Amino acid sequence: MKLGKFKDPLPIPPVLKPKWKSGDYTYYEVSMVETKQSLHSDLPQTTLWGYEGIYPGPTFEVEMGERVFVKWKNELPAKHLLPIDHTVHGAEKEKPDVRTVVHLHGGRTEPASDGYPDAWFTNGFAVKGPIFEKEIYEYGNQQTARTLWYHDHAIGLTRLNIYAGLAGFYLIRDRYERSLNLPSGPFEVPLLLQDRTFHDDGTLSYPDQPENNTSGIHPSIITSFFGDTILVNGKVWPFFEVEPRKYRFRFLNAANARFFRLSLDSGQLFFQLGTDSGFMEQPIGVKTLLIAPAERLDVIIDFSNLGGKAIVLKNDAPTHFPIGDPVNPETTGNVMEFRVTMPLSSIDTSMVPAYLGPIKWLQTNSAQKQRFLELSEEKDLYGRSLFLLAKKMWDDPITENPRLGSIEIWNFVNTNGDDHPIHIHLVQFQILGRRAFDVDFYKKTKQIRYTGPRIQPEMGERGGKDTVRCPPGHITTVIIPFFPFTGQYVWHCHMLEHEDYEMMRPYIVLPPY
């Protein structure tokens, strides 16, 4: 079905209201329910799963240090909306079809509240996964102002549960952020980017077979999902009416596998202020923004002096990044349209600050341990592609076991053709660089022969990160402080089809020596 562009206004998810708030703590309840929503005016209503019955879910607004408790409640039907592959680990036939668990992405969270993939639960907590610990999660929010997001993380189902609609924003605020005089209130807008494909009746389309599937398995996991429409905050190609002034946007790539490389067709700059984990030292002005699944970007766009103009936010990241099909200029090459049609309601006194504050850079010589972790492509029993971390399966014994309070350097050695966004739970790390190496020689000898100099992280990556792009043929190096909790977490590729099919590993933070 051909859907018109820029026909529907951009929705902005409502801010979630707590059930209880005192000086000591805040308590929320969030129900996951099946719902119907219009995602485009030419499309019949779509059946979705939403936190609090809306897609995307409502936005949490919390203060740094605020003690937050959330009871995540599964009130979903017993039948899944989408095709489950029972050969995928954790999604075996005897398991309930509809299992959920919530991860706060980028949160510094205790293990029992981190949404471990095996800590899933069904409607009413009737059935629980093997390491389920508690119904009410606790978030300490001991983190400076930043953009987090929450989403489903159930083992073997994450790609399907997020595709069905289970994702939303979680913003941490602090006093320093307020002192910066950034655009705020109606001029600060979260933008959640996804791609979807629809059947003519409005229902979500998710393939139940990979292309050229000879596995004989049905439904069967696919290598990666790419939709033919782009949605922002749950609307296909929306428009957003703005005033001629500065706006602050929190970009989140919540797509299953699609990268976005964003630009404005007016040719103007984005001013990027922050990364996954808060502000950079200073803003940068850039014409394009590359954002991989799960990454966030904190950006100001200045619409001053553009009254009456319509500006299209474009995307030109190939489908399969970095080497893949070019986007379709009519469809996936477009994200949304900004219309500078609103009168200026007040003088714009907000700022793009010249300086945002110091970052404590971690030094290589402070690291106690260095690890080399291969990202490899294999074939499964049925001839399907299978991506692995360090050549290990999800069920293999834990091999990454840093000590609490230690600093480690992890090198992601990518020997396959995809750029994988690698996410490590609990921690915020810094990117030290990337370096090309001889892949064939490595595959034969397991030895590293570099073929180029170390490349500095891109300007827009020079800050705290929890997800890092690992391009093919490169070793991507990050430095990671492990604190403030001991216990079992996961690290994984955030392309959801990879994560669900073995490109995820447990790791454990051990007590200090």
Q: Which residues bind Cu ion (CB under 5 A)?
A: 420, 493, 495, 498
CA 489 vs. chain centroid, Å, equals 17
Q: How far is the CB of 498 from Cu ion (least distance, A)?
A: 3
Question: Running DSSP on this structure, what letter comes out for residue 498?
Answer: H
Q: Which is nearer to Cu ion, 59 or 256 (CB)?
A: 256
Nearer to Cu ion, 207 or 487 (CB): 207
What's the closest the beta carbon of residue 164 comes to Cu ion, in angstroms?
21
Dihedral angle sign, alpha carbons of residues 254, 255, 258, 263 = negative
70 or 470: whose CB is closer to Cu ion? Answer: 470
Using DSSP's 3-state secondary structure scheme, residue 50 falls into strand
Of the candidates 102, 123, 122, 124, the residue with the CA atom closest to the CA atom of residue 114: 102
Instruction: Considering the complex, state which of residue 299 and residue 386 has its C-beta at the smaller distance from Cu ion.
Output: 386
Q: 466 vs 105, 277, 400, 411, 496, CA distance in Å?
A: 8, 7, 17, 15, 16
Smallest distance from the beta carbon of 95 to Cu ion, in angstroms? 24
**In 373-513, which ranges are continuous DSSP H helix?**
439-445, 496-500
Which residue's CB comes closest to Cu ion? 493
As measured in angstroms, the least distance from the Cβ of 402 to Cu ion is 22
Minimum CB separation from Cu ion for residue 494, in Å? 7
Minimal distance in Å, beta carbon 376 to Cu ion?
11
Q: DSSP letter for 233, please.
A: T
DSSP assignment of 267-330 equals -PPEEEEEETTEEEEEEEEES-EEE-TT-EEEEEEE-TT-TT-EEEEEE---BSSSSSBPPPTT
Q: What share of the chain is helix, strand, coil (3-state, %, to 5)?
A: 5, 40, 55
Q: Which is nearer to Cu ion, 236 or 493 (CB)?
A: 493
Q: Which is nearer to Cu ion, 197 or 376 (CB)?
A: 376
CB of 225 closer than 8 Å to CB of 256 = yes
Cα 67 to chain centroid distance, Å, stands at 24
| Minimal distance, residue 183 CB to Cu ion, in Å | 35
Nearer to Cu ion, 153 or 250 (CB): 153
